[in-house]
Structure 1
Amino acid sequence: MNERTVTVDGIAVTDFGGAGRPMVALHGSFGRASIFDGLARELAGRARIVAPDQRGHGYTGRADSYASDDFVGDAAGVIERLGLAPVVVFGHSHGGITAYRLAARHPELVSALVIEDVGPVMRPPEIARPILDVRGWPAEASTKNQLAEAIRSRGVPDPGYFMQSAEPADGGWRLLFDWDDMMAVQAGGVGDWWEEWLGSTCPALVLRGEHSTLLPAELAARMIARRPGSRLVEFAGAGHWIHDDDPAGVARAVAGFLGELGLSPGRSA
């Protein structure tokens, strides 16, 4: 793979390169494009992942607004500017909400959807804890281990996902996002999104981890039953970050789905 990063209207976009059908990948809250490193390697030759650092995340700057519509508009702009449409869009968690809302609002941009571990409802009582309260959490420390321990002390047994957004800075380590911004990002994803999940007709693959806290089994079943052209793949033993827990399994499911689509590959970014 020949990975490269470009900037599109202020948004840092990583093109993991290589052969295969282009697939735009949208990370979740607290994430960044590089969380798809492993998936890009697993799908090498079958899919070429193009992933933005979404507003407020990674190397893309902070923003004044983190409403769901803002993320949809950003994704649409990246796809249009890079000439990828219509393209398969993969979305994890908050990125999954953005993906299916994008398909409903801009069907000309999206040829198919892969939704990882998020449903059409993100609010109580269906989802007991749609927002993780991270106000006042540590943003920097002298060492990487100290930063990880500081996050662990907030009740996170495995801070690995957050630490994927950590980097050296000024003799220490810092996170590439602001915790208060992440509260706003999460709040923007809270709601009832049934109308927009049902608002597109392109093929859709939904991935669910057995131990998911954000996509209960009953909700996933209704999600598939109500939308023609959708199907569900469940991953035994996996949690919310299925692409980390079972990267080979996710790659097999996605590669099989892409193979069934019979779509012509998009243009290079």
Structure 2
Amino acid sequence: MPEAPSYLAIMGAHVLADDGCRLWTAVAGDGPPLLLCHGGPGLWDYFDGVAELLGGFVRSIRWDQRGCGRSERRGPYTVDRFVGDVDAVRRHFGAERVNLLGHSWGAMLALRYALAHPSRVGSLIYVSGTGVDPDLTWRDAFHRNLTHGIGADAARWRELDERERTPEEDREHAILQWQADFVDPVTARGHAERLGTPWLGINYTCARAINAESRRFLRDHDVPALCRALTTPTLIVDGAHDIRPRWAVDSLERSLPDVKRVTLAGAGHIPWAEDPAGFREVVAKFVTQVAS
């Protein structure tokens, strides 16, 4: 049997944060380090497909945020603490500077890390984020698009959403919701099922705390002004059919002094799942150019 490519040789390990919290990590591939921040908050790493796509170009460093997935189930659940955890993972793997890729909530976490530690970030890749609008004006459109995207399953989703759920029902609720994040209704359920397999349980305490703090940060700080001082090369990647309206990210794009933006026409909120070739091309080209 031929030897598997090196980018498929994934090592799993735990990293200790500076307060002793055990964070699950996995490393794969060869090239400049790319630290991946998953979305949620309250979810777990789902970047196995990204690690495979980019394995020939980068050394991907994946991790489960504290309290989530395979990491230790403990707080505190604060953005500053999560930023510190990103730094602990970076240090553990010996990277003086890393490229950061964040998706959805993870895009905001990656941005917050870059704002706190710009000298430690070689580049920032901001995927399917929701921008820096303090009034969250995108949310009404998101909720309308979500209901439309769930389609015929909307009644069941609402019924589950309005009551306490068993772990099995919690997974069903998430899968029904995640279907709306994909463009083609024929393949959406399969994509959503893969995101939820294995099912590691959503940490709703973490989600509520981090979301509330993130909203306060946007209200209490002039985030566009902070971004104008960030000289880190940044790539914004959107799926054209994301149910979170893409105009939400416009003010962030205008604020960053060194930014490129690419919209993948056939993709939704998880662009690497629906346009893997396009996602691989734009990310690999950007990281390669920054590293050269």
Q: TM-score, normalised by structure 2?
A: 0.74
Q: CA-to-partner distance for each residue in 1:44-87, whole Å, 9 max, x for gaps?
A: 21112101101122101223332222211110111122211201
| Counterpart position of 1:256 | 285
Change (3 A) 1:85 1:119: farther
Cα pair 2:131 2:251 within 8 Å, conserved: no
Contact kept? 1:205, 1:230, Cα under 8 Å: yes
Which deviates further from its counterpart, 202-211 or 58-67? Answer: 58-67
How many residues are matched? Answer: 250
Within 2, Cα distance between the matches of 1:208 and 1:155? Answer: 17
What does residue 276 of structure 2 align with?
247
**Aligned counterpart, 1:102:** 113
The corresponding residue for 1:50 is: 61
Does the alignment pair 1:176 with 2:201? yes
Question: What SS does structure 1 have at the residue aligned with 2:252?
Answer: helix
SS state at 2:107 partner: helix
Q: Which moved more, 1:100-109 or 1:113-122?
A: 113-122
Identity of aligned residues (%): 26
Q: Deviations over 1:179-228 (max 9, x none)?
A: 343233333332424344334211000011212243533x4333223221
Structure 2 match to 1:140: 167
User: Which SS does the other structure have where 1:5 is aligned?
Assistant: strand
Cα offset, 1:137, TM superposition = 5.4
Higher relative contact order (CA 8 A, sep 6+): 1
| 199-208 or 125-134, which deviates more | 125-134
TM-score, scaled to structure 1: 0.80
Q: Determine the structure 2 residue equivalent to 1:208.
A: 238
Q: CA RMSD in A?
A: 2.9
Q: Tell me if structure 2 keeps the 8 A contact 1:120–1:197.
A: no
Q: How far apart, CA to CA, are the structure 1 residues paired with 2:52 and 2:205?
A: 33
Q: Which amino acid aligns with 1:188?
A: E
Q: Secondary structure of 1:240's match?
A: coil
Task: Give me the whole-angstrom Cα distance separating, in 2, the residues matched to 1:154 and 1:210.
Answer: 19
- Aligned counterparts of 1:21 and 1:154: Cα–Cα separation in 2: 35
